A and B are shown apart, each in its own frame.
Chain A
């Protein structure tokens, strides 16, 4: 087993600089996720770790081994890095059966025939593909092919597994199932997993730690799923973790108001944010579920613009001092409060769980994956 370290890695294609001074340490035996929007450079970083791409600058270590160091013209090819890779598009070999696919790494390592087929069959069983050993890939569903790829990456007991959006093409149920299976495999084998995705739900469910990457290939925040979710360091991370509302705020006579409006917030000025308040750049963020609806007159006053049923929840758009917020309420809650609120009605809002940020540039409302 091994840890992975990237030190000051830089990679450009032509003039386009994908990552610059990229430094990160992935600990031995953990499940680490790169989470970031499409095109931010996740795949490029993963491919550099695997050895399919060469960094322009910097160093990459897998365990104690230096695998890429362009400055010293040092480069270990992929086949010597003891990694397993699951590609975004499965890359199951179409001319080989399931068993032939899975046994291939062992054949290459010249493992004795008996042992090789025993290990391959065991791994196939482990990913729940028992009985399909002799199928050709075109006879398998997408999810099954995915698991072939997973088994093929696992069978040689690599130090490190690199997974590039391995669940992106699966339906919701299968995705959840595979998520558990990957987590389970990691627990059983202790392999270090680097997982790449733009799906925050998967990232939160599967990871020991998450690195959120910005559009420019920069790392915004590294932390446990809980830290990332509960203490996002900036609006970008907050927005990336789910549907989000932002309230631009200002201080008048010691109280907080929604900027340029009469809507007051029944919340004291947060400690440690005085600087942002003074500069008039304080922003509060909250999730649709973290807004409590109350009768008018209490809390901050807003007007319901729209309400719609989304299965067991009701989704409102409420304007507060010119800012539109998404608010969600369970049906039970709504019924307890006297039924869903009609459009046009005035309502009181209470914010029990606000995240505080200092605003940089423009804010986009209700961003993130809905």
Chain B
């Protein structure tokens, strides 16, 4: 029966229907339910209620904080990102290429682990740096307080500025040097050229990077949760978390959550729209195919001081927190001096081999990331194929749905998934690993779509058509020609999902049940329960796994690229 139906439908129709189905179930229904719950009570629209909820002091405060933090992080990241990008691509800074790679390392460090480290260093009375300064200089009050808006902004900036750095250094390298040269020929000095030519040309890339930071910061859970919750500083995602946890699923709590989530989705949509507009306006100006050497600013006497500044910056933002995590993770009890006598390997042994909760969390993260990465990669290939390659009526629906995953923040996905899979449609997987699995698919679909469609765009239509002309059916052409050619893109998609999923916190923290903690959740809850040392031990395990993962990805993607 199904076989006969399949014969009647063309492959194109089957693939389109499947793709639409997946996106609808995984992304569209959850988002729709969020808007629906936010807008309607008992089947009728209720705007007054929304206004009332938004003007309650704690929600209003959360909205305000979100804006302040996002704005602060965006401005700081842009300044840092542009400065360092310019330093490594347009000056004669020594060891430029090494520095360029090093500036991407902050990406590898999960920001909530960074926040944990900074909490250990700079919390008012127990932070190691504060204690050290108070002892040394005999201060009555701690000089730093990380539990503030500024603390959150600073820590987020440390780990988000690479977004701007990548965009801008990439654009600076691709920029047509003749644009600058012609200005120089007409007699302009280097500073004038930078101000009048280079900077305006870079504006689209700077804008795109900045918006990416804003988007990320708005939707980010880890840093504000670790540094803000203790002292009552909330932003939208952490407020949603607090509402859901406190009220154990009461309707008002969920409703408040959905209203805040709707605001997140709309802001994310607007940011992405602005970003694509900016990128479009700047695309044609900057790029030149030839790779000529742009002129480099001679730093002269500033050469080594600026190198030193960069190195210190990286040491402070990357090395110091990492070392702190490893050292604290080895302490016998939190608060002891960081000396050799106070170190032990028992913590590590305990969380790896004895404590069921942490053992579970590592295992959960592994198989959930693996399964989600695999499934999302395959589904993403399917959907991208339909979007990029197929000529079929009704494709616009898919194109519209395909944009959705990009603009749905993790917190929103978690909330939507709760609304969808808690029995409303006859399936209740709340508190099981399945709900996290479904959420991961929705959360990482955007990565998969991006990587797969980039790979598919490289495969010229005529390659597939040639196979058809040779007598291959559509399936055979896919299997023999298209799939082998996009394999590197698929592998990349897999790792692009697997590695971040391994350290995921934002969605799983809203979805975990008694036995389904992930590594991120375990670290977070340990910290919340005051088990700072175990949190640090587990975090060091996570860091080791992440570093190994990054090395593997390099190896695998390199060999699979050579294969073709």
> Which A residues form the contact surface with B (CB < 8 A)?
50-52, 77-80, 82-85, 87-89, 91, 93-95, 104-105, 108-109, 149, 152-153, 156, 162
Q: How far apart sit A51 and B469, CA to CA, in the bound complex (Å)? A: 9
> With an 8 A cutoff between CB atoms, is B548 at the interface?
no
CB pair A87–B462 under 8 Å, yes or no, is: yes
Known contacts A91-B460, A93-B481, A95-B485; decide if A85 and B471 are in contact (CB<8 Å): no
**Supplied contacts A104-B480, A153-B469, 12 more A-B pairs, CB within 8 Å:** A50-B469, A79-B468, A79-B473, A85-B465, A85-B466, A85-B469, A87-B465, A93-B463, A104-B467, A108-B471, A108-B476, A156-B470
A83-B467 contact given A91-B462, A95-B485, A95-B564, CB 8 Å threshold = no
If A108-B471, A108-B476 touch, whether A91 touches B485 (CB-CB below 8 Å) is no
- Kindly provide the distance from the CB of B404 to the nearest chain A CB, expressed in whole angstroms: 27
Residue on A with the closest CB to B391? A53
List 7 A-B pairs, minimum CB-CB distance, nearest first: A105-B470, A91-B462, A85-B469, A91-B466, A78-B468, A87-B462, A108-B471
- Is B484 part of the contact surface with A, judged by Cβ < 8 Å? yes
A95 touching B468 in the complex, CB below 8 Å, given contacts A89-B460, A89-B462: no
Using Cβ atoms and an 8 Å threshold, which residues of chain A touch B460?
Answer: 89, 91
Q: Is B76 an interface residue (CB 8 A)?
A: no
Contact B462 A156 (CB under 8 A): no
Closest to B468 in A: A78
Number of A-B contacts (CB under 8 A): 65
**20 A-B pairs with C-beta separation under 8 A:** A50-B465, A50-B469, A52-B465, A77-B468, A77-B474, A78-B468, A78-B469, A79-B471, A79-B472, A80-B471, A82-B471, A87-B462, A87-B466, A94-B564, A95-B485, A95-B564, A105-B470, A105-B471, A108-B471, A153-B469
Task: Kindly identify, within residues 427 to 478 of chain B, every residue whose CB is under 8 Å from any CB belonging to chain A.
Answer: 460, 462-463, 465-474, 476
Which chain B residues border A83 with CB–CB below 8 Å? 469
How many whole Å from A50's CB to the nearest CB in chain B? 6
- A residues near B485, Cβ cutoff 8 Å: 93-95
Least Cβ–Cβ distance between A45 and chain B, in angstroms: 15
Q: Which residue on chain B has the smallest CB distance to residue A109?
A: B471
List residues of chain A with CB within 8 A of the CB of B469: 50, 78-79, 83-85, 153, 162
Contact A52 B468 (CB under 8 A): yes
Do B466 and A152 touch (CB < 8 A)? Answer: yes
Of all chain A residues, the one with the shortest Cβ separation from B467 is: A104
Contact A91:B465 (CB < 8 A) given known A104-B480, A108-B476: yes
The residues of B that contact A77 with a CB separation of less than 8 Å are 468, 473-474
Shortest distance between the CB of A137 and any CB in chain B (Å):
11
Q: Which residues from B are CB-within-8-Å of A89? A: 460, 462
How far is B481's CA from A149's CA once the two chains are assembled, in angstroms? Answer: 15
Residue contact A108 to B463, C-beta cutoff 8 Å: no
With A and B bound together, what is the CA distance between A50 and B471 in angstroms? 11
Residues of A within 8 A of B480 (CB): 104
Determine the chain B residues whose CB is within 8 A of the CB of A87 once the complex forms: 462, 465-466
CB-CB nearest in chain B for A85? B469
Whether the pair B472, A108 counts as a contact (CB closer than 8 A) is: yes
Q: Bound state CA distance, A233 and B463, in angstroms?
A: 39
A93 touches B466 (CB 8 A): yes
Contact partners of A84 in chain B: CB under 8 A = 469-470
Complex CA gap A91/B426 in Å reads 50
List, in ascending order, chain B residues with CB within 8 A of A82's CB. Answer: 471
**A114 to B318 Cα, complex, angstroms:** 62
B563, closest chain A residue (CB): A95
Residues of the A chain whose Cβ atoms lie less than 8 Å from the Cβ of B476: 108
Q: Are A78's CB and B564's CB within 8 A?
A: no
Chain A residue nearest to B469 (CB atoms) is A85
Chain B residue nearest to A87 (CB atoms) is: B462
> In the docked arrangement, what's the CA distance between A137 and B473, Å?
23
CA separation between A80 and B484, bound complex, in Å?
Answer: 24
Q: What is the distance, in angstroms, from B319's C-beta to the closest C-beta of chain A?
A: 43
CA distance A314 to B21 in the complex (A): 70
Nearest-neighbour CB distance to chain B for A192, whole angstroms, equals 15
Q: How far is the CA of A77 from the CA of B467 in the complex (A)?
A: 12
Q: A79 to B460, alpha carbons, bound, how many Å?
A: 18
Which chain A residue has the least Cβ–Cβ distance from B10? A77
Chain B 81-115 per-residue mask, 1 if CB under 8 angstroms from chain A, else 0:
00000000000000000000000000000000000
Shortest Cβ gap from A16 to chain B (Å): 16
Question: In the bound complex, what is the Cα–Cα distance between A80 and B471 (angstroms)?
Answer: 6
A85–B484 Cα distance when bound, in Å, is 22
Which of chain B's residues have a CB closer than 8 A to the CB of A78?
Answer: 465, 468-469
Complex Cα distance A79/B466, Å? Answer: 10
Contacts of B481 in A (CB 8 A): 93
Complex alpha-carbon distance, A108 and B460, angstroms: 21
**Which chain B positions have C-beta within 8 A of A149?**
466
Cα(A307)–Cα(B37), bound, Å = 83
In the assembled complex, the CB of A100 is this many whole angstroms from the nearest CB of chain B, namely 10
How far apart sit A162 and B465, CA to CA, in the bound complex (Å)? Answer: 13
Residues of A close to B462: CB separation below 8 A: 87-89, 91
List the B side residues contacting A156 at CB < 8 Å: 470-471
Q: By the criterion CB–CB under 8 Å, are B463 and A152 in contact?
A: no
User: Complex formed: what's the CA distance from A109 to B144 in Å?
Assistant: 75
B103-142 vs A, Cβ < 8 Å mask (1 yes, 0 no)? 0000000000000000000000000000000000000000
| Complex contacts, A79 vs chain B, CB 8 Å | 468-473
CB of A253 to closest CB in B, whole Å: 62
Name the residue among B467, B469, B472, B564 with the largest chain A CB count within 10 angstroms. B469
Please give, as numbers and ranges, the residues of chain B lying within 8 Å of A52 by CB-CB distance. Answer: 465, 468
Find residues 37-83 in chain B having any chain A CB closer than 8 Å to their own CB: none
Query: Complex: how many Å from CA A80 to CA B480?
Result: 18
Residues of A within 8 A of B465 (CB): 50, 52, 78, 85, 87, 91
Considering residues B470, B471, B480, B564, which has the most beta carbons from chain A within 10 angstroms of its beta carbon? B470
Instruction: Provide the bound-state CA to CA distance between A51 and B480, in Å.
Output: 20
Q: In the complex, A326→B123 CA distance in Å?
A: 89
Inter-chain contacts of B484 with A (CB < 8 A): 95
Complex CA–CA separation, A22 to B471 (angstroms): 27
B466 neighbours in A (Cβ, 8 Å):
85, 87, 91, 93, 149, 152
Chain B neighbourhood of A105, CB < 8 A: 470-471
Complex CA gap A94/B458 in Å reads 12
Which residues of the other chain, A, contact B468 by a CB distance below 8 angstroms? 51-52, 77-79
Tell me, in angstroms, the Cα distance from A79 to B473 when the chains sit together. 6
* CA–CA, A89 and B463, complex, Å: 9
* Residue on B nearest A53 in the bound complex, by CB: B391
A87 to chain B, nearest CB (A): 4
* Across-interface contacts of B471 in A (CB, < 8 A): 79-80, 82, 105, 108-109, 156
Within 8 A of A (CB), among B545-564: 564
Task: Enumerate chain B residues within 8 angstroms of A80, measured Cβ to Cβ.
Answer: 471
- Whether B564 contacts A152 by the Cβ 8 Å rule is no
For the complex, give the distance between the alpha carbons of A138 and B433 in Å.
47
Q: Would you give the shortest CB distance from B62 to chain A, in whole angstroms?
A: 48
Question: Which residue on chain B has the smallest CB distance to residue A104?
Answer: B470
Enumerate chain B residues within 8 angstroms of A153, measured Cβ to Cβ: 469-470
